[in-house]
Chain A
Amino acid sequence: MTNVKFGLLSGLIILLLSGTIYASAYARELAIIANKDYPSDSISATTVKDIYLGEKTSERGIKIKPMEQRDEEIKSRFIERVLGSSMDGYKAYWIKKFFQEGVMPPAVKGTPSEVLTVISQTKGAVGYIWIDDVKKDSGVKVLLKIEVGN
């Protein structure tokens, strides 16, 4: 009886562990990307947050131009996991920020390829994209990779 209990318990632990490993193996990753001329090769999650909340607008003399995705899935994942806000909270924040200070909210772009194209052609441009959509010849550099769950 004890052996049966032990076996069941071991099986359960293995199942849980394998589930965790499976989940982390397949957790989706966002890439924070920037124009090739962006004056830094890496960025912290805190700085990304500051950029998308309009608190950081320049880097070593270059004006930062953040880009937003129109696709709701990636946008909500970015806002919730990276910025730590709800979608409505984020929208309300930008109403207030724009009204208070006249700081422009991030420009919205339609498709991942459009985001890549605009960022590759715009000095100071920063954006986010699924890591799978970043190609070697896309003319952007990856500053940070962030896991955002499944």
Chain B
Amino acid sequence: MIAQIVSLLALIFVAGLPCVYAFEFKGFADVSFTKSTKDADAHRNGDFAFGSLDLYVAEVVEDVEILIETLIEEGDELDIERLTIGYTFNDAAKLRMGRFHTPLGFWNTAYHHGVQLQPTIERPKFLTFDDAGGILPTHVVGVNLLGRVNTRAGAVDYSAMLGNGPMIDLGKAVLTPNNTSDNNIGKSAAFNVSISPSVIAGLKLGVSGHIAEVTSNDDPVTIDVDQTIYALSAVYTKGPLGMAAEYFRIEDKSKSAGDFTNTAYYGLIKYSIKEKWEPYLMYEKLSVGDDDPYMSVLQAGIDNKEMTLGLRYNISYRSSLKGEYRNIIDEGGKDWDEVALQWALAF
């Protein structure tokens, strides 16, 4: 805890240095209240919660770009979420190295940890961050080449990466991106290509893929999976109307337990009234293959269906209040309701 405070103070000190390369911190913060009808669910039993404090800096130093995003979660956990050093050759070729969000689908790289940016209070369950028990390798440490190419058909955005493969930390029951070394020789690779067709303004269609060998951190290794993830995304924004949908297929080939297929998707629709009020509706579903060893150790690796009905009120372009009603059905058909409120801020 003391080390974390010292790190944070050091960051703030660096940010405040009165020199030509002084960094300016920006950030996001949110507080929430959640009441669930499910028995004894931590943080959801009619509780107020300090959600997260996200601090980030981005700067260009002699043409070299640096981006650092730190996050303090649940009041006391300080993490470096993103740390990239990069160079922009031109709009079609930008090179980044470090820790970044895996270019998978739309949501994962659109909102990061900026809660005020995302339309809903929480991410879809299957997009839960890896360090919070999520099933997808949402972070990666490696090298990323990305850019945009304008064609006659429309703007094409691409992102390709090579990095350390994720590891299952059995002690914490989470996926970890292997920040400092890879626990096996297999690297992870991913790509994401999306097109914004000229003929339909506001539409963006994307396709992604990710391959990795994922092993657990015990000895002898008990989970060893060759994983392939495919994702499709569609986002449409036209005036006050906004829609987004993503579909994921996660194929796990276990050396000891066989092959498993898991699927997940969400659909979201929102409508902005005078840029102030924004009702939204989201439906999400995760179907997990029976006895998939990869899924069985991760908290979010269970069948899940969720309907979210919400209303967002933008106090200003920096601050929003969101209220939600959720109906959730999980593995075994257990059904419960939740209501949640959140005040989120960008500063």
Contact of A102 among B67, B148, B275 (CB under 8 A): B67
When distances are taken between beta carbons in the complex, the residues of chain A under 8 Å from B148 are 55
Who on chain B is nearest to A61 by CB?
Answer: B90
Contacts of A100 on B, CB cut-off 8 Å? 109-110, 112
Instruction: Decide if A95 touches B346 in the complex (CB within 8 Å).
Output: yes
Determine whether the beta carbon of A56 is less than 8 Å from that of B91: yes
Per the 8 Å Cβ criterion, residues 71-123 of B in contact with A are 84, 86, 88, 90-91, 109-110, 112, 114, 117
* Contacting pair A88 B317 (CB below 8 A): yes
Whether the pair B58, A86 counts as a contact (CB closer than 8 A) is: no
User: CB-CB < 8 A to B110: which residues of A?
Assistant: 100
B256 at the interface (CB under 8 A from A): no
- List, in ascending order, chain A residues with CB within 8 A of B56's CB: 99
* A119, chain B: closest CB distance, angstroms: 19
CB distance from A53 to the nearest CB of B (A): 12
Whether B317 and A99, one on each chain, are in contact in the complex, defined by CB atoms closer than 8 angstroms, is: no
Q: Indicate if the CB atoms of A89 and B90 lie closer than 8 Å.
A: no
Q: Is B60 interfacial (CB 8 A cutoff)?
A: yes
Given contacts A99-B114, A100-B109, A102-B65, contact A55 B26 (CB under 8 A): no
Report the interface size for chain B: residues with CB under 8 A from the other chain.
28
Known: A88-B275, A91-B317. A57 touches B88 (CB 8 A): yes
B155 to chain A, nearest CB (A): 8
Verify if B318 is at the interface (C-beta below 8 Å from A).
yes
Closest to B89 in A: A58
Q: Are B275 and A86 in contact (CB under 8 A)?
A: yes
* Distance to closest chain A CB from B302 (angstroms): 30
Known contacts being A92-B317, A99-B112, is A104 close to B60, with CB within 8 Å? yes
Contact A102 B58 (CB under 8 A): yes
Which residues of B sit under 8 angstroms from A102, Cβ to Cβ? 58-59, 65-67, 84, 86
User: A26: CB under 8 A from chain B?
Assistant: no
A104 lies within 8 A of B58 (CB): yes
CB closest residue in chain B, given A64: B91
In angstroms, Cα B168 to Cα A103, docked, is: 33
List residues of chain A with CB within 8 A of the CB of B181. Answer: none
Query: Residues 91-114 of chain A: 1 if any B CB is under 8 Å from the residue's CB, otherwise 0?
Result: 110011011101110000000000
Kindly list chain A residues whose C-beta atoms are within 8 Å of the C-beta of B90. 57-58, 61
B85 to chain A, nearest CB (A): 11
Looking across the interface, which residue of chain B has its beta carbon closest to that of A95? B346
Contact with A along B56-70 (1 / 0, CB 8 A): 101110010111010
A91 vs B314: C-alpha distance when bound (angstroms): 13
Residues of A within 8 A of B275 (CB): 86, 88-89
B316 at the A/B interface (Cβ < 8 Å)?
yes
Which B residue sits closest to A96, measured CB to CB?
Answer: B117
A89 to B59, CA, bound (A): 23
What is the interface of chain A, defined by CB distance below 8 A to chain B?
55-58, 61, 63, 86, 88-89, 91-92, 95-96, 98-100, 102-104
- Residues on B facing A (Cβ under 8 Å): 26, 28, 56, 58-60, 63, 65-67, 69, 84, 86, 88, 90-91, 109-110, 112, 114, 117, 148, 155, 275, 316-318, 346
Q: 9 closest pairs, A vs B, by CB?
A: A102-B58, A102-B67, A88-B317, A92-B317, A58-B90, A91-B317, A95-B346, A99-B114, A96-B117
